Amino acid sequence: MEVRTRFAPSPTGYMHLGNLRSALYTYLFAKANGGKFILRIEDTDQSRYVPGAVDVIYRTLKSIGMQWDEGPDIGGDYGPYVQSERKNMYLPYAEQLVKAGKAYYCFCTEEELAARREEAQKRGETFKYDKHCLHLSEEEVRRRLEAGEPYVIRQNVPEHGEASFDDVLYGHIAVDCADLDDMILIKADGMPTYNFANVIDDHTMGITHVMRGNEYLSSTPKYNLLYDAFGWEKPTYIHMTPIMRDATHKLSKRDGDAYFEDYLNKGYLKEAIVNYVALLGWNPGDEREFFTMDELIKAFSVEGMSKSPAIFDVNKLTWMNAEYVRRLTPEQFTEYALPYYEKAGVGAEHADLLARILQQRTETFAQIPDMLDFIPQLPDYDAELFTNKKSKTNPEIAKHVLKIAIAALDALPAWEEQPIHDALLGLAEKEGMKNGTMLWPVRIALAGKQVTPGGAIEIAILLGREESMRRLKIGLDKLNA
């Protein structure tokens, strides 16, 4: 049997990290077993449709190397792969169930249902549809249909007995049919409900393994009643645990930690995000933490999936991202960093130098503007910054250092790294002071802050001769004041 899995997102916005992991595990399972990965767009709820969201789905999956074998844009033998384009196929299946007594037409209005729901609430009961329309005669049903009355089609769940299924992770799960509601299959607008469309689409597309979040565990018994009603073979179910921000809270859209693109915009590498998400709820069975997509395919197995909720640790993601950043070539680093140089107001003419001083210090690319904020504009700083015990500098020493440094640097014929290096360290040797004693006051004057990604020499190159000399003189003026 060929393994066929599907990722079936709703086009309601950006890619949630939970959806990304579902897609990833579904893709990895299919490819690890030599099977097919199908993309299906589930847009039955048109009220939640967001224009452009389908393109976001395409872009996200393609950018991380998850190419589908069948889908809306490339077709396949089981299309269409967009539910709204399959609309006409669902009603005949529902009508087939009506004829078999497994479903029925329901003409109850929203007002009637609301009144019954309120009565149940007053009694302290959980509202469940009372099968009122199940008992209408065939003649009355026909009359009301011919009169054009709005209706839905409901599943006729048995009032007694057990509905059950076996999940690869959670084992055997059974529920009392008396606790299940007669869910709507076809809505008043003629569109199928999410649950009904899922069953029809999965069967007609030959899906063998359904991987989805464990919030669907409670719905699956009703799905299986539908499979039984049609006499269809059920797929294998693999329900995944949620990704949590902590032990009690899910990832929050409001806090900006729920979507894949949130982290791209924060300067994380997509490869690091995917690698980290892969490890949220799955263990390779060894000590490895870093995987390419091909390595994930080879290592992935359902046996490594966890039944416990996965905790999203942004500090661990940041650590992993920093490791990915360090593994980039200088050219790759520069390519990613260029937009952040621009945001910082820094030109890319010294890209090689910037990569050299920033790459080992960068955890996320969004940190770069703050690390370079002193370059476009000298911060307002206090002369006390020139005092540093480790470098053995104080205002008097700093004043002397800047005075001789200005003279030496001003005399340089070329403003290049090696001449600046030789001039400053040559002064330190001549004055009988440590290199740090010479370089600290120069760096403070150039940057106006204690912590910088590069040293005095690198900063001087980034600023250029004119700006460097201007700042050195400002520093000397502060010390003379």
Q: Which residues are catalytic?
A: 253
Q: How far apart are CA 376 and CA 292, in angstroms?
A: 38
**Token code pair at residue 375:** 């370059």
463 in Cβ contact with 446 (< 8 Å): yes
Phi, psi of 380, rounded to the nearest 5 degrees: -80, 120
Instruction: Kindly provide the residue ranges of all beta strands, DSSP E only, lying in 223-363, ordered along the sequence.
Output: 236-240, 243-244, 310-311
**Token code pair at residue 141:** 């049903």
Peptide bond into 80 cis (omega under 30): yes
Q: What SS3 state is found at 105?
A: strand
Helix axes 330-344, 351-358, angle to 10 degrees: 100
Q: How far apart are CA 73 and CA 68, in angstroms?
A: 10
How many CB atoms neighbour CB 414 within 10 A? Answer: 9
Q: How far apart are CA 255 and CA 264, in angstroms?
A: 15
234 in Cβ contact with 303 (< 8 Å): no
352 in Cβ contact with 445 (< 8 Å): no
Bridge-based pairing of strands 171-176 and 162-167 is: antiparallel
CB-based contacts of 309, cutoff 8 Å, min separation 6: 241, 242, 243, 244, 247
How wide is the angle at C-alpha 225 spanned by C-alphas 83 and 189, nearest 5°?
35
Bridge-based pairing of strands 103-106 and 152-155 is: antiparallel
Cα torsion 268, 270, 271, 272: sign: positive
251 in Cβ contact with 241 (< 8 Å): no
Q: How far apart are CA 449 and CA 309, in angstroms?
A: 44
How many CB atoms neighbour CB 341 within 10 A? Answer: 21
